[in-house]
Structures are given as structure tokens and as C-alpha cells.
Amino acid sequence: MTPPNPRRGADRTPAPRSRKPTMADVAAELGVSRALVSLVFRDQPGASPETRERVFEAASRLGYKPDMAARLLARGRSKVLGVLFTARNPHHVDLVEAIYPTAEELGYDLVLSAAVPSRDEHKAVEALVGHRSEALLLCGPTISEEDIADLGARLPVVVLGRHLKSAPVDIVTSYDRPGAREVVDHLVGLGHRDIAHVDGGSKPGAPERRRAYRDAMRSHGLADRIRIIPGNHTEEGGQDAARGMLADDAVLPTAVFASNDQCAIGLLDVFTRAGVKIPEQVSIVGYDDSHIAGLSHIDLTTVRQDVPRLARLAVEAADEQLRGVREPGATLKLESKLVVRGTSGPPTQR
């Protein structure tokens, strides 16, 4: 007897609750075979309507629920999609919400795994793979491109909101250029010329937005006004950037385009607190239009990504890879568009 498991029973039945009923229990109850019960629960042809009725009745009477783990194991296909997201990122939360309906429609079950401070993305992804996800949907993953490529070699992977040079995975994201372009157009149209950009470092989407900002500024003849302030995609990043700008001897820009909404909110926080009037003294524009941006108290001008379609395309891409109808490596891009709210307005004269 091995010390860690003195008695099988003690470990197998943790609480004195009644054992979960299985398919065999239902079959025995009705005096039929397991296979028949299985047919009924899989909604496959081969059982008479009366039998189906009886099976369902007996099952609910016994409290039988199909066991996913066994089902996954027995089926070649698990029909489970693993979703990695960052708990703190409201845009990711929006994506997760939007992924559910399409997944259900295509017959997939979802397993979520959150990257949180105490648990990095590697662990989160391992958990998903371990739970037999057939494919992975990664919301703005920050792990290295090599790691993503390795994952992509093992199973179908769809990356949301991040560009990759060359990984055997599908990519679903928004065009950054038109969005950033619209932001700069909007601000220039309001009369701004000193438009700074707080970037997101190397976070997903950030390099592209930075580049798009630069291009848009140049095309407005504002190349000499390009000002990029290092930041990242968190409130803290925005706060730090704002503090830096306030401490700086140089005058404040009249408008700041942040790399995402959280960063913009961080800017908003520090500026408001410092008595800087928004948008009179400084206009602020974010990116993502996460649900938090629309709150009227925040009321952030931002670039809306088409979250429902992003989510739908991502799930469909995963499904296509799983069905083998095409090779991985597709890149799908959606239009995004400016949503003007209260944090942007014409600059006041100095």
C-alpha cells in the first residue's frame, strides 16, 4: 500500500455525496444498452421517438449529465476551443463575451484561461492544451512569436489583435492604419497640430498603431510635430506617461492619441487630477472602444474595433483549420472606425 493513497475509496469519493450517475445507470434503469442512451444523447439517428423520450425522462430523473472528460477522450474531436485572455483587459473581456455565441453556433464548447499577474500566459496556455482544446484563440498574446509558432505547429491557433511576421497561425485583427488615420484627421480637423502618441511598447498592436500615427502625421505635413511617448497598455502606463508630460518643461501637446483605452484612461486620470481640462486643454483619444470607454463618465473618443465580427471570424478561422479546409496562416483584417465622444474637442488658444 502506498502511503499517499491509503485506500482507493477514500480518495475516489472525496465527499459522502452519491456517486454521479453514468450512462450505464440510465441504460440499466431502462433495461437497454449503453449505446442506445449514447445515441439519444448525441442526437444521432437510430432510436425511436418513444425511446428517446424514455431515455431523457430516466436521465433527468437520475440526474444524469454527460461527462465531458469521458466524451472528449472517447471522441477524436473534443469540440473544445481554448481561449486565452488577460483578465484585466476590458477589451479582452469584450472579445470573450463575443466569442461565446459563434462558438455555440458552430458546436464548440469554450474553456477560458486567464493570464493574471500570478500566472503567466505560458501556464495559461498549457492549461488550455491540457484540457484538450482542439484549437486556441489567443487574445492579444504577449508571448514570443517563436512560442506562438511552436503552438501553431501543435494545434490550430488563431491570434486576435496582434500582427506576426511569420507564424503558421491565423491572425484576426483590425487595420490600424485607417483607424489611426481617422484619429489624426479628426484631431487635425478640430485644429490640433501638436498631437502626441503614447505608445504601447511592444504590446500586441502597439507597433502598428505607432507606425500608423507617424504616417498619418507625415501625410498632414506634421512630421516635425511627431512626438512619441513610451507607454504600455495599462492604466499605469498612461498614468506614468501623463506624469512625465506634466513634469516635462516642454508645453503639453494639445492632443494625445493613446495606444489603447486603458492607457488613455490612465492619461485622463492624471490630467484631470492635475487640473488639466479635458478636452479644452488636452484632447485624448483611445483605441479599442472597450465597454469601459463608453461610460459617460469616461466618455472617451476612441477607435472602435468590430468586436462581434472579430470574434466571429476568429472562431470560424479556428473551425476552418480544424476541418482542414485550408492551411493555417491566413490574416483577416477588419475595418475599424472612430467614435467621437467627449474627450476630444477643438484646442483653445494659448
Footprint (CB under 8 A) of a copy of itself, residues 121-150:
126-127, 129-132, 134
335: left (phi over 0), alpha (psi -120 to 50) or beta: beta
Q: Using CB under 8 A, pick the residue from 31, 49, 76, 107 that binds a copy of itself.
A: 76
Contacts of 164 (CB under 8 A, 6+ apart): 145, 148, 171
Footprint (CB under 8 A) of a copy of itself, residues 261-290:
265-266, 268-270, 272-273
- The verdict on 8 binding DNA (CB under 7 A) reads yes
Q: Using CB under 7 A, pick the residue from 28, 32, 246, 339 that binds DNA.
A: 32
In this complex, which beta carbon is closest to a copy of itself, that of residue 115 or of residue 183? Answer: 115
107: left (phi over 0), alpha (psi -120 to 50) or beta: left
Q: Is 348 exposed, middle or buried (0-12, 13-18, 19+ CB in 10 A)?
A: exposed
In this complex, which beta carbon is closest to DNA, that of residue 70 or of residue 274? Answer: 70
The span of 64-72, 140-148, 264-272, 339-347 binding DNA (CB under 7 A) equals 64-72
In this complex, which beta carbon is closest to a copy of itself, that of residue 17 or of residue 350? Answer: 17
> Over the range 96-113, which residues count as b (16 or more CB within 10 Å of their CB) and which as e?
bebbeebbeebebebbbb
Footprint (CB under 8 A) of a copy of itself, residues 28-47:
44-45
- The verdict on 61 binding DNA (CB under 7 A) reads no
The entry of a copy of itself, DNA, none near residue 36 (CB within 5 to 8 angstroms by kind) is: DNA
The vertex-74 CA angle with 68 and 80, nearest 5°, equals 45
Q: Of 261, 264, 276, 278, nearest to 343 (Cα)?
A: 278
Shortest Cβ 42–a copy of itself spacing (Å): 10
- The verdict on 13 binding DNA (CB under 7 A) reads no
- The verdict on 65 binding a copy of itself (CB under 8 A) reads yes
In this complex, which beta carbon is closest to DNA, that of residue 31 or of residue 275? Answer: 31
- Over the window 82 to 111, marking each residue x when it contacts a copy of itself by CB under 8 A and - when it does not, the resulting string is -----xx----x--xx--xx--x----xxx
The entry of a copy of itself, DNA, none near residue 109 (CB within 5 to 8 angstroms by kind) is: a copy of itself
Cis peptide upstream of residue 279 (ω within 30 degrees of 0):
yes
> Over the range 38-67, which residues count as b (16 or more CB within 10 Å of their CB) and which as e?
bbbbeeeeebeeebeebbeebbeeeebeee
In this complex, which beta carbon is closest to a copy of itself, that of residue 234 or of residue 336? Answer: 234
The span of 65-73, 144-152, 197-205, 217-225 binding DNA (CB under 7 A) equals 65-73
Q: Using CB under 7 A, pick the residue from 75, 119, 123, 218 that binds DNA.
A: 75
Q: Of 162, 241, 176, 187, nearest to 215 (Cα)?
A: 176
Residues that bind DNA (CB under 7 A): 1-2, 5, 7-8, 11, 19-20, 22-24, 31-36, 38-39, 41-42, 44-48, 51, 64, 66-67, 70-71, 73-77
